[in-house]
């Protein structure tokens, strides 16, 4: 598989312009740029709390365990939706399909009601919303909350899940959205 970005990459810094990691350089921008070299999938995580729907774009989603079925994602302590996600009893992860880049951008910022505006969703028996057309989804009961620096890690026990067999997932690499292209045929 080959990754295709929807934008051209920025010029990479030359060896002489990069901070030397052996000098103990702790520059946050350089650190974030190094982290962006790890390609991830893109998800929208939703929850239902105090009779309201909450959602946000997330690319820290990962599998933890097959037995029991556990997944994780992390949330920054400074976000306004922190209480909703950490105090509700669970969350829904919708793995975005490559045609859902606009939804990823929509859920990345702004008022909560605006994030859901015009987005097709389906309410599950858990009362959490899943995004229609997502490549996969995982409805989770909160299993554990781990304090980790400026984030919390939410570990969820998967209660229900499914996937679309023919959907290609949206990816994020070097701060850009992209896709994987099957080059095996």
Domain enclosing residue 102, as ranges:
42-172
What is the pLDDT confidence band of residue 75, given thresholds at 50, 70 and 90? Answer: very high
The pair of structure tokens assigned to 59 is 């690319």
Q: What CA–CA distances, in Å, run from 100 to 2, 57, 103, 133?
A: 20, 11, 5, 8
Q: For residue 131, give both structure tokens.
A: 């995004």
Tokens at 142, concatenated: 């909160």
| Domain-located, residue 65 | yes
The pLDDT score that the predictor gives to residue 183 is: 64
Global pTM exceeds 0.85: no
pLDDT in tens, 16-42: 455 565 666 677 888 788 877 667 789
Give the CATH number for residue 107.
2.30.110.10
Asked, for residue 181, whether it belongs to a domain, the answer is no
pLDDT of residue 73: 98
CB distance 8 to 180 below 8 Å: no
Residue 120 lies in a domain: yes
Asked if residue 119 is part of any domain, the answer here is yes
How do residues 83-118 score in pLDDT, each as one tens digit? 999 999 999 999 999 999 999 999 999 999 999 999
Quote the pLDDT of residue 20.
60
pLDDT band at 123 (very low <50, low <70, confident <90, very high): very high
20 within domain boundaries: no
Domain assignment present for residue 2? The answer is: no
Let me know if residue 128 belongs to a domain. Answer: yes
Inside any domain, residue 9: no
- Number of independent structural domains in the chain: 1
Q: What is the mean pLDDT of residues 49-58?
A: 97
Return the closest-CA partner of residue 119 out of 132, 108, 128: 132
């Amino acid at each position: 598989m080959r990754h295709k970005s929807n934008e051209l990459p920025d010029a990479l810094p030359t060896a002489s312009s990069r901070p030397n990691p052996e000098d103990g350089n702790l520059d946050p921008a350089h650190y974030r740029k190094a982290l962006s070299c790890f390609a991830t999938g893109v998800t929208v995580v939703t929850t239902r709390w105090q009779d309201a729907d909450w959602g946000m774009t997330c690319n820290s989603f990962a599998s933890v365990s097959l037995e029991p079925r556990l997944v994780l994602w992390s949330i920054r302590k400074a976000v306004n939706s922190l209480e909703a996600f950490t105090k509700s009893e669970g969350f829904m992860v919708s793995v975005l399909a490559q045609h859902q880049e606009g939804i990823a951008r929509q859920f990345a910022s702004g008022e909560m009601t605006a994030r859901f505006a015009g987005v097709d969703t389906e309410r599950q028996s858990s009362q959490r919303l899943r995004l229609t057309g997502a490549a996969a989804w995982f409805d989770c009961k909160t299993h554990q909350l781990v304090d980790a620096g400026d984030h919390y890690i939410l570990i969820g026990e998967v209660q229900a899940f499914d996937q679309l067999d023919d959907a290609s997932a949206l990816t994020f690499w070097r701060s850009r959205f992209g896709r994987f292209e099957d080059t095996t045929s």
